[in-house]
A = this chain, B = another copy of it.
Amino acid sequence: MSYIPPSLEKVIDQFSKFPGIGKKTAQRLGIHVLKSKKEDIFLFAQSLIDVKNKIKTCERCHNISESSPCELCVDPRRDSSLLCVVEDSSDIMLIEKTGYRGLYHVLGGTLSPLDGIGPDHIYIDDLIDKSSNFKEVIISTNASIDGDATALYIQQILSDKDIKISRLARGLPVGSQLEYIDEATLTNAIENRTEFND
């Protein structure tokens, strides 16, 4: 395809490596780069380099941050008796939106014996060490097989400590119709039914 300049083809190729970006979208993004102002693209390139140079992992909670310990770990306004355990840093962004204001612990993955990922491959050891400092540990792994297995594992190794261990509720997503809910979710929703508070 000699009619696409090599440098443009390279950018298109790089864009298509991003998740959810197909060949056509990558081409559109490449054309956009072509049409954008030089300064804007240089700024964009610089910001990409900055991310890789500045962002590290917090030594306490393993969240991504430009400082270690991160802003969340050192914020005195946060409730230091609550610990929310998540699989990934990106989950923190979602949980923050719910209004939760305790601390976090990022596992950096889930246990997955079939893929050879055991407790030594994710941040579980230091979770055990620090867990005694908290009143409650909320295990917020995904509701997937690996997420559930990981939650169960953590629950078991923390069970002999004097801390409350909870996990995210299972039930109907807000706005859903029973008709479209799978059996497992509905079973959970009935088992975990909540009383009306008068």
Contacts and interface: CB of A to CB of B under 8 A. Distances in A.
Q: Count the copies.
A: 2
Given A19-B28, A28-B20, A29-B18, A51 B7 contact: yes
A25 interface: yes
A130 interface: no
A8 B44 contact: no
Contact of A64 (B5, B11, B18, B29): B5
Interface in A142-182: none
Given A6-B66, A8-B64, 15 more contacts: A1-B96, A2-B72, A3-B92, A3-B96, A5-B65, A5-B66, A7-B47, A10-B51, A11-B48, A19-B28, A19-B32, A21-B29, A27-B90, A30-B51, A34-B64
Contacts of A1: 93, 96
Contacts of A6: 66
Contacts of A187: none
Interface in A3-52: 3-8, 10-11, 14, 17-21, 25, 27-34, 38, 40-52
Given A3-B92, A66-B6, A41 B52 contact: yes
